[in-house]
Structure 1
Amino acid sequence: MTSEAITVLGLGNLGRALAETFVRGGHSVTVWNRSPAKAAGLAATGATTAAEAVAASELVVVAVLDHQAAQQVLSGVDVRGRALVNLTSGTVDEARELARWASANGAEYLHGAVYAVPQTIGTDASSIIYSGSSAVSERWQKSLELLGKVTFLGEDAGRASGYDVAILSGMYGLIGGFLHAAALARAGGIKATDLTPMLLSWLTDMHPALVTFAEEIDSGNYGGGESSLAMNQSGLATLIRAGQGVPFAALDSLKALVDQQVAEGHGEESLARVVESFGVVSQRLAGRQ
Structure 2
Amino acid sequence: MASVGLIGLGAMGTALGEALLRQGHNLFVWNRSAGKAASLIASGAQLAETPMQVVSSTDLTIICLVDCAAVTHVLDGVVGLAGRTVVNLTNGTPEQARGIADAVALADGRYLDGGIMAIPPIIGTPHALVLYSGDEAAYRSHRNTLEALGTAEFLGADAGLASLLDLSLLAGMYGLFSGVIQATVMAKAGNVPARQFSKLLTAWLQAMLLSVDDISARLDDHRFGQATSPLAMQLVAMENILSTSRQMGIDPGLIEPMARRIRQRVQRGGGADDISAIGDEISSSGSAVAAQ
TM-score normalised by structure 1 residue count? 0.94
Opposite residue 51 of structure 1, the aligned amino acid is M
Shift of 1:282: 9.2
Structure 2: how far apart are the matches of 1:98 and 1:151? 20
Aligned to 2:176: 174
In structure 2, the residue matched to 1:201 is 203
* Alignment of structure 1 residues 97-136 onto 2, 5 Å: 97-136=99-138
Computed over aligned residues only, the root mean square deviation of the Cα atoms, in angstroms, reads 1.5
- What residue ranges of structure 2 are gaps of 5+ in the alignment? none
Asked whether the equivalents of residues 89 and 114 of structure 2 are also in contact (C-alpha less than 8 Å), the reply is yes
Aligned residue pairs: how many?
282
Instruction: Give the aligned partner of residue 73 of structure 1.
Output: 74
Q: Distance in 1 between matches of 2:286 and 2:87?
A: 30
Q: Which runs of 4+ in 1 moved over 4 A?
A: 280-284
- State whether structure 2 residue 36 is matched by structure 1 residue 38: yes
Match of 1:243, SS state, is: helix
C-alpha displacement of 1:90: 0.7
What residue in structure 1 maps to residue 19 of structure 2? 21
Write the deviation string for residues 194-232 of structure 1: whole angstroms up to 9, x where unpaired. Answer: 000100000011012121111101100111211211111
Deviation at 1:281, TM superposition (A): 9.2
AA partner of residue 62 (structure 2):
V
Report the more deviating stretch, 83-92 or 223-232.
223-232
Match of 1:247 among 235, 251, 273: 251
Opposite residue 55 of structure 2, the aligned amino acid is V
Contact 2:134-2:159 at 8 Å conserved across structures: yes
Could you tell me how far apart the structure 2 residues matched to 1:94 and 1:174 are?
A: 27
Partner residue in 2 for 1:189: 191
- Within 2, Cα distance between the matches of 1:41 and 1:199? 41
Cα distance change of structure 1 residues 225 and 239 upon mapping to structure 2, 3 Å threshold? same
- Determine whether 1:54 maps to 2:55: yes
C-alpha distance in 2 between matches for 1:124 and 1:55:
30
Counterpart code for 1:74 = L
For the pair 1:256 / 2:254, whether they are aligned, the reply is no
Question: What is the SS of the residue equivalent to 1:250?
Answer: coil
Aligned partners of 1:252 and 1:143: how far apart in 2? 45
Displacement after TM superposition at 1:149 (Å): 0.7
Shift of 1:250: 3.1
CA contact (8 A) 2:280 2:287 kept: no
Distance 1:75 1:243 in 2: 51
Does the aligned pair in 1 maintain the 2:116–2:131 contact within 8 Å?
Answer: yes
Matches within 5 A, 1:227-242: 227-242=229-244
The answer for unaligned runs of 5 or more in structure 1 is 285-289
Aligned residue in 2 for 1:64: 65
Residue 270 of structure 2 aligns to a residue whose secondary structure is: coil
Code of the aligned partner of 1:21: A
Measured in 1, the distance between the counterparts of 2:53 and 2:70 equals 18
C-alpha deviation, 1:112, in angstroms: 0.9
Q: In 2, Cα distance between the equivalents of 1:269 and 1:173?
A: 21
The alignment partner of 2:273 has SS state of coil
Q: In structure 2, the residue corresponding to 1:80 is in which secondary structure? A: coil
1:253, CA displacement in angstroms? Answer: 1.1
Report how far residue 23 of structure 1 moved: 1.6
Q: What SS is found at the alignment partner of 1:85? A: strand
**Displacement of 1:147:** 0.9
Matched residue type, 1:264: R
Q: 1:235 & 1:257 partners in 2: Cα distance?
A: 14
Aligned counterpart for 2:217 among listed residues 204, 215, 223: 215
